[in-house]
Amino acid sequence: MKEILGSSVLLVGYGLEGKSNHRYLIKNYPDKKIGIADQQKIEPIVNSPSTELHIGKDYLQNILHYDVIIKSAGVPSKLTELKKYIESGKRITSATNIFFSECPGMIIGVTGTKGKSTTSSLVSNILKEKYSDVRLVGNIGQPVLDYLPGSDNNTIFVIELSSYQLEDIRYSPHIAVLLEIFPEHLNYHGNFSKYIEAKSCIIRYQTSQDIVIFNPSHKIVSSIASKTSAKKYRFSLHPREEAGCYLKEKSIFVQRGKGKTEFVLHRNEIPLLSRGNLENTLAAISVGTLLDVPLEKIRLAVSEFKPLKHRLEFVGEYHDIRFFNDSLATIPEATINALKALGKEVETLIVGGYDRGIDFSKLGLFLEKSQLKSLILFPTTGKRIWEEVVKANLGKKLNLKKYDAFSMKEAVQIAFQNTSAGKICLLSPASSSFGLFRDYQERGDLFKKSVKEWGKE
């Protein structure tokens, strides 16, 4: 299917992906008139007479003058102007749709609420043990269209797919990896049902020649997988007859053919903490097994994998206190997983951030029963999380102390003052970063910087 038709194209959104789309158009469609629409003041990568800028609050006012729109992921599809554009019979596409329509090689897509980047990176590392041209792209920060040049039918693309990228997709990957799904981005999608619907688009166009990989223990994911005619490949944290990859007695095994079970590696060889990361590893091993990567190569790739930044990242030990950066934990379930992974030695938790309407009752119950001593709270969800802790306490004596912080430097100072030697301070916010911080990377980087600065005191 041809995604770019007509003589003029409008880029809506001009961030990392928008600039990549612009580069792609200049190289592949040099004769088309190009427009750029963005609320912010921007500097085009190339200024030419054929490029027109639409900036400011009325940036979508003239979109009907263009034959096709390439919308950046994250620009809401529900905008009135975009709806009218579609009603006029014109086409809105995306970098993801263009990529799928023009990709000559195999595509492996990974989605879920958490663990996408780790799983995608692990899959890429495993496949590189056998295949010479493996490219990791997508929501991991590597715009898909930048990586198409030079690819052929031997190229394997591993693409991390967000709900933003999936909500309007018109294609499916040959192998779809579905990780667990929790409520997130509700302010964008409107409600959890619509978020699930966006995630489920990854398998919408699969055929019986394709494959979906998932853990059947997760009801939402299992329900999504049941709607595709693709071959089902299951992984599990427990031995299951139908599981192709599973954990048994702290070792990972795969089943190749009926009754043929083979050992892959011991759990303690995996350099990743948390139950979630164990599932991510099982999913990645499943892909490697299906694409015939030798098991000893899979074992090597997994055991040598370096954890990604801001995902239970060990910052260091200062004044006999160990600090962990889990800034990407933007939902309660991720924070609970982090606390379970690090265990009883976590004494201080830094939590809270931007309010997207997520339910914190489960987290409050978990924190009330935990052995934490100090809870450092960022606005605005910090207050809501504390209310859930108090509610779960039912009027009993509460051993957990709360401290309010309004900057990362302040939070880390409180942590140093209230964490015992030999214990752990964990940043795992259970909330989005917006408000005090630009994004989760800035939040995590400021945490690491502040820890090192206070550690010198």
Q: Give the model's confidence band at 1: pLDDT under 50 very low, under 70 low, under 90 confident, else very high.
A: low
Q: Give the model's confidence band at 327: pLDDT under 50 very low, under 70 low, under 90 confident, else very high.
A: very high
The CB density around residue 401, as the number of other CB atoms within 10 Å, is 12
Average pLDDT for the chain: 94
Mean pLDDT on 217-242:
95
The string of pLDDT tens digits covering residues 77-90 is 889 999 999 999 99
The string of pLDDT tens digits covering residues 147-163 is 999 999 999 999 999 99
457 pLDDT above the threshold of 80: no
The string of pLDDT tens digits covering residues 358-399 is 999 999 999 999 999 999 999 999 999 999 999 998 878 788
Mean pLDDT on 429-443:
94
Cβ distance 122 to 305 under 8 Å?
yes
Torsional sign, CA 340, 341, 346, 349: negative
Tokens 């269209």 correspond to what residue? Answer: 145
The string of pLDDT tens digits covering residues 346-355 is 999 999 999 9
184 pLDDT above the threshold of 70: yes
Which residue, 429, 417, 313, is CA-closest to 377?
429
Those residues whose C-beta lies under 8 Å from the C-beta of residue 421, and which sit 6 or more positions away, are 319, 320, 321
SS3 for 146-205, per residue? HHCCCCCCCCEEEEECCHHHHCCCCCCCCEEEECCCCCCCHHHHCCHHHHHHHHHHHHCC
The CB density around residue 102, as the number of other CB atoms within 10 Å, is 17
Mean pLDDT on 216-239:
96
Cα gap 433→440, rounded to integer Å: 5
Distances (CA, A) of 150 to 133, 145, 158: 10, 11, 16
Q: Give the pLDDT of residue 260.
A: 85
Phi, psi of 188 (to 5 degrees): -85, -50
The string of pLDDT tens digits covering residues 46-72 is 777 778 999 999 999 999 999 999 999
3-state secondary structure (DSSP) of residue 401: strand
Cα gap 111→117, rounded to integer Å: 9
DSSP string of 370-394, one letter each residue? S---EEEE-TTHHHHHHHHHHHHHT
Q: Give the pLDDT of residue 256.
A: 80
Q: Which residues pair with 252 in a beta bridge?
A: 247, 265
Q: Which domains does the chain have, with CATH numbers?
A: 8-93 (3.40.50.720), 97-303 (3.40.1190.10), 313-455 (3.90.190.20)
CA 71 to chain centre: 20
Q: Give the pLDDT of residue 43.
A: 87
The string of pLDDT tens digits covering residues 137-148 is 999 999 999 999
The string of pLDDT tens digits covering residues 2-12 is 899 899 999 99
Q: Give the pLDDT of residue 218.
A: 96
Q: Give the model's confidence band at 264: pLDDT under 50 very low, under 70 low, under 90 confident, else very high.
A: very high
Tokens 């595709």 correspond to what residue? Answer: 228
Those residues whose C-beta lies under 8 Å from the C-beta of residue 450, and which sit 6 or more positions away, are 408, 409, 411, 412, 413
The string of pLDDT tens digits covering residues 108-133 is 999 999 999 999 999 999 999 999 99
